[in-house]
Structure formats: structure tokens, C-alpha cells
């Protein structure tokens, strides 16, 4: 016979333990540690020192979905870490790179990055010393995707463009693995120290690599959207940007601190060096899951499950609402000690009301133009036109000019420069669903880059989808959460997770709507000088129409630099 009183007592004890642990996490200080490279050049990171939270004047650690961010920490000038970093320019023995790790919740959430620069300022007689770090997503900015990573870059590259068409989660992971093997395996390049015999077998011994990628096998249940990964000689983050945005996936990174007993599971090597960087592509959105996820809802009726299907040539998403949702909750939700939210059935909803008095910003924008144009070239059509001109010209010359069979070749050389990029070089696609949604007055069309080399290619398909995705109706909800709120960012949810939010003023006006979108940005910051404790600034959804001028300029500059890089590659090819 079950003793009901004892059972309830055990449940209450377990609940109190969970509450106590979460209350500890809310009050927990950041665990800030710095690491350096060993002077002898051996693999692994060496511990430099720990920064007490009481010694920090100001700190900011932003995380953005699939974009590298810059954090900083301000320290007193007489701090031991400050003195060490200040001396780096003239320290002939020290290796210059400095790694920082900022951990919370016993290491469940971690921010890490390399020192970018330090700045010593004097304002009105007050000195400030800040160290600026770029997070480890920057490694994808400094990793190129050549046409063929298996061949030497400077000697021979065939075919002209790298192309991999597969489930995007596996395709992105495979592309990263190929580049890591190319760079760290030293198949066609010298090791960092050619006189060290141990470095010549790096293509076999992956435990010495500084970067790794984690992914499930192709045959496993990968329900991510299929699509192309294409690159001529682009940076990895640029190559993956549209695919990640289309599939609503996120690339995560984590430094494995083996000196603390941490291990990396799921890698192709059983052991890694201390401080090794591990990338993983995860689907925290569930947008393309076969069983769907929550994309909408109301306060009264709750979340509404929606299954996404493709229509109209794969370019448009059709949202199918499931009115009788009997989907079971994931098993992890019933496991003791588990904390988080899953794409199959997200559960967290942030209520933006006067009870908690959040600092918040809610914005919405309708969809943009109804037509997307891509392309600019069609090598196949150009080749056919050249062949037709040469064939007809040679035949006419042979019969009409007494056997002169080179007329077509001459005509081709004269005519083709005027025809290249004019025949079937553009593709236009109109989103009829968007036309019906917007009405008679609507924006008409826009050009989407990404398929400049061939209008009839897999890249063109991806570019059209990317254009529609970038101009869809968007909601952005930014909320600043203090330490007293019930949900704990970084513990209950991460970047890319799907969260819901509502607003008190909308409900007051009879507008019962719950916005559900991905977490696009998480900013952990504190300012001891101003008495501001650690707090989180959370951005749910990304409303590009409401972006600041600085954010727009940064995105535009990145696209310009990528376009210039493409032009340079195309000119010499």
C-alpha cells in the first residue's frame, strides 16, 4: 500500500531542492577565468587567473544568434590581470592570445572568446581599463570555404564552386568538418612547427586540434530542411547565413575545460585538449519538424501547434494549424533535475506587464515586396548561344564563301560579349500568398543576391527563399530581466530557443495575442560603479524594420565586404 503522506513529503522535498538550486543560480556570480597558450606551443590552454566579481567595475557579455559579438570587462588598473595584459606588447616570452571564459549555473551557460584589444582611458581624471573580447563565433568568420577543400588551394581547385545539397544541419556540420580537416590536418600545408614530428600526424590524431564539430550521423533522424551549401571562396559564417536563417537553426559553441573534469561527447575523437572549441548545429526552433511546433497563440486559448509545409515551388511556407493537438510532451520534461525548453513543445511565456515593471520594447512590421528577382548570369544558355552562332556561321561560310568555315568563330567572338548574361539570366518569383495577405497596395519587387553566377541553380532557389524570409512579417520583443524573475536565462533557455511573450497594453485593448519566436540575442551585463546588478537583456524575434542605424550599418558593411570579396574572386577566375 502506498503511503500518500510520505509520497507527498518526498515530492515537497524534491520541489524545495529545485527551488533552492534555482534561487542559488539567480544569486550566483559570474565565474570569470582567463587562459593562455603554453609557452612551449603544446596543445591545450593554461590557466592564467580568475577575476572575482567584486573586482569587476563593469562587464557585458552579449550573445547573438549565428553572429559573433564583442564583450568587455572593466578592471582596476592595479589588478593582476590588468598588469599582465598591459605588459603583453613588450613581453617577449608570453604568447599574445588570451582566452576568457565566463560561466554560470555550474557551467551550463558559458561565454568564451579571444582578446581583441585593451583600452586604457582617462576621463576627468578617472582611469578605466577595459579588455574587449570577440566571442568564439568569430572562428567561422576566419574560416574560408574553398571550392574543393580536399585539394591544395594555391595549385588546383576543381570544380569552380563548392556545393553540398543535404539536410542543412548535416550539410553545415560536414562543411565545417572538411575545413577543420583541411586546416588542422595539414594535408597540403606545413604544420605550425615543421620540426616537431608529433605535428605531422595531426590528420590522424584529432585530440590535438583546437576546433572540433559535433554532429549526428547522416542516417539518424535529421528532420532539418534540405538545402544547398555553396561557396566560391567565402567565409564560413557568410556561407551558412542564409541556410541557418531559412532553417531557423543556430550554431552553438563551447570551450571544453578538461582540467575541470569536462568531457566532449559525440565527437570523432574520444579526448580533446583543455580549452578545445566545439561547434554544433542545433535545431532549437522546431520550425520544420514533422510534428510542428508552436508559432502562434492567445492568452485565452494557449499555444497553437502549427506544421510548416512547402508550396509553390518550395519557395513559400504554408502554415497548417492543428486544431486537435494531442502531441505528447517530450520525455525530458518529466526527468528529475532537467531544465530547459524543447522545440517540439516550448513552454516558456514571458508576461510583459506592470507587475514586474520590465524595461521592454515591442515592435512589429508587415511583410515586404511580393516578388523576388535573382540571377545575373546563365553559363549554360551562353554556351548554347555560342554553339548556335558558331554552327550556323560556319555552315553559311562554307556554302556561301567558297569553303570558308571560320565565319561562325569570328561572328561568335564579336557577338557573344553583347549576349553574355542576357539569355535566361534572371529568375523572378511572385509570392501569391503574400499578395493575398497584403492586399492591393503592396511593395512590388526586390533583387536578392546569392545567385549571381547562375540563375538556374540550387543557389538561386536558396536565394529566393532567403529573400522571402528576410522580408516576411516580423515581430521583435526586447525585455530586460532582473535576478528576481522566475525564469532564468541561460538555464531555462538558450539562444535560438522558441519563447512566447505577450504585452499588458495589448490585452487591455482587447488584443489577445501571444508572440512566439526565437531568442535572437541575450546580453548579460552589470555595472558595479552605477550599482546595477547582473541582469539579462533578452531579444525575442528580430524586427529588421526597427533596427537602429548602427545595426543597419554593421549588417550593410558586412554584405559589402562579402560582395567585394566575391567580385575579386570572379575577376581572377
- What mean pLDDT is predicted for residues 405-423? 88
CA 316 to chain CA centroid, Å, is: 22
Quickly state the pLDDT bin for 573 (edges 50, 70, 90).
Answer: very low
- What mean pLDDT is predicted for residues 367-382? 89
Contact yes or no for 312/432 (Cβ under 8 A): yes
Which pairing describes strands 211-214 and 234-235: parallel, antiparallel, or unpaired? unpaired
Which residues 6+ apart lie within 8 Å of 218 measured at CB? 166, 167, 170
Q: What is the rounded (10 degree) CA torsion for 45, 49, 53, 55?
A: -140
Distance CA 421, CA 455 (A): 10
- What mean pLDDT is predicted for residues 151-155? 86
Q: Provide the mean pLDDT of the chain.
A: 85
The two counts, helices (H) then strands (E), for the chain are 11, 26
Q: What is the pLDDT of residues 220-261, one digit of tens each?
A: 766 678 888 988 899 999 999 988 988 889 999 999 999 999
Contact yes or no for 342/282 (Cβ under 8 A): no
Q: What is the pLDDT of residues 174-220, one digit of tens each?
A: 999 999 999 998 777 777 777 777 766 666 788 999 999 999 888 77
pLDDT of residue 371: 92
Q: What is the pLDDT of residues 73-121, one digit of tens each?
A: 999 999 999 999 999 999 988 999 999 999 999 999 999 999 999 999 9
Contact yes or no for 281/216 (Cβ under 8 A): no
CATH 2.30.110 fits 31-134, yes or no: yes
- What mean pLDDT is predicted for residues 361-367? 89
Q: What is the pLDDT of residues 348-357, one digit of tens each?
A: 999 888 787 7
Distance CA 295, CA 292 (A): 9
Distance CA 444, CA 552 (A): 22
What's the start-to-end Cα distance of the chain, in Å? 81
Amino acid at each position: 500500500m502506498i503511503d500518500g503522506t510520505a509520497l507527498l513529503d518526498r515530492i515537497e522535498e524534491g520541489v524545495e531542492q529545485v527551488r533552492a538550486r534555482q534561487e542559488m543560480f539567480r544569486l550566483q556570480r559570474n565565474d570569470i577565468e582567463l587562459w593562455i597558450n603554453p609557452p612551449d606551443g603544446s596543445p591545450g590552454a593554461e590557466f592564467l587567473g580568475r577575476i572575482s566579481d567584486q573586482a569587476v567595475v563593469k562587464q557585458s557579455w552579449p550573445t547573438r544568434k549565428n553572429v559573433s559579438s564583442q564583450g568587455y570587462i572593466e578592471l582596476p588598473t592595479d589588478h593582476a590581470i590588468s598588469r599582465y595584459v598591459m605588459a603583453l606588447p613588450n613581453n617577449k616570452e608570453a604568447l599574445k592570445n588570451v582566452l576568457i571564459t565566463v560561466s554560470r549555473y555550474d557551467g551550463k551557460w558559458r561565454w568564451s572568446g579571444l582578446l581583441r584589444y585593451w583600452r586604457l582611458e582617462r576621463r576627468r581624471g578617472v582611469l578605466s581599463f577595459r579588455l574587449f573580447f570577440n566571442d568564439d563565433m568569430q572562428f567561422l568568420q576566419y574560416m574560408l570555404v574553398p571550392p574543393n577543400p580536399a585539394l591544395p588551394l594555391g595549385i588546383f581547385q576543381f570544380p569552380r564552386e563548392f556545393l553540398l545539397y543535404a539536410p542543412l544541419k548535416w550539410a553545415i556540420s560536414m562543411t565545417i568538418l572538411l575545413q577543420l580537416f583541411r586546416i588542422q590536418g595539414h594535408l597540403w600545408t606545413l604544420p605550425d612547427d615543421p620540426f616537431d614530428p608529433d605535428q605531422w600526424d595531426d590528420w590522424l590524431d584529432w585530440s590535438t586540434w583546437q576546433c572540433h564539430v559535433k554532429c549526428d550521423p547522416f542516417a539518424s533522424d535529421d528532420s532539418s530542411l534540405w538545402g544547398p551549401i555553396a561557396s566560391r571562396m567565402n567565409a564560413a559564417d557568410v556561407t551558412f547565413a542564409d541556410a541557418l536563417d531559412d532553417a531557423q537553426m543556430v550554431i552553438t559553441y563551447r570551450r571544453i575545460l578538461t582540467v575541470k573534469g569536462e568531457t566532449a561527447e559525440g565527437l570523432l575523437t574520444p579526448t580533446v585538449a583543455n580549452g578545445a572549441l566545439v561547434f554544433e548545429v542545433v535545431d532549437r526552433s522546431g520550425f520544420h519538424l514533422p510534428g510542428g511546433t508552436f508559432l502562434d497563440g492567445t492568452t485565452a486559448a494557449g499555444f497553437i501547434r502549427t506544421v510548416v509545409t512547402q508550396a509553390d515551388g518550395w519557395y513559400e511556407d504554408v502554415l497548417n494549424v492543428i486544431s486537435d493537438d494531442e502531441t505528447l510532451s517530450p520525455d525530458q520534461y518529466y526527468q528529475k533535475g532537467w531544465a530547459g525548453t524543447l522545440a517540439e513543445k516550448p513552454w516558456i511565456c514571458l508576461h510583459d506587464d506592470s507587475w514586474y515593471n520590465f524595461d521592454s520594447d515591442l515592435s512589429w512590421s508587415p511583410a515586404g515586396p511580393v516578388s523576388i528577382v535573382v540571377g545575373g548570369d546563365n553559363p549554360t544558355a551562353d554556351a548554347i548561344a555560342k554553339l548556335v552562332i558558331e554552327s550556323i556561321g560556319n555552315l553559311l561560310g562554307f556554302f556561301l564563301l567558297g569553303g570558308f568555315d571560320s565565319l561562325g568563330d569570328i561572328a561568335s567572338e564579336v557577338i557573344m560579349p553583347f549576349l553574355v548574361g542576357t539569355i535566361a539570366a534572371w529568375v523572378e518569383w511572385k509570392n501569391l500568398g503574400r499578395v493575398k495577405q497584403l492586399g492591393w497596395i503592396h511593395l512590388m519587387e526586390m533583387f536578392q543576391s546569392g545567385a549571381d553566377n547562375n540563375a538556374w541553380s540550387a543557389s538561386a532557389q536558396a536565394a529566393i527563399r532567403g529573400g522571402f524570409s528576410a522580408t516576411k512579417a516580423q515581430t521583435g520583443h526586447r525585455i530586460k530581466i532582473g535576478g528576481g524573475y522566475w525564469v532564468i536565462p541561460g538555464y531555462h533557455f538558450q539562444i535560438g530557443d522558441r519563447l512566447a511573450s505577450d504585452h499588458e497594453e495589448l490585452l487591455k485593448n482587447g488584443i489577445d495575442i501571444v508572440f512566439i519566436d526565437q531568442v535572437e540575442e541575450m546580453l548579460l551585463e552589470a555595472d558595479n560603479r552605477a550599482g546595477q546588478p547582473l541582469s539579462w537583456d533578452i531579444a525575442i524575434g528580430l524586427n529588421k524594420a526597427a533596427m537602429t542605424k548602427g545595426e543597419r550599418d554593421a549588417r550593410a558593411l558586412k554584405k559589402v565586404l562579402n560582395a567585394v570579396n566575391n567580385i575579386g574572386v570572379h575577376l581572377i577566375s
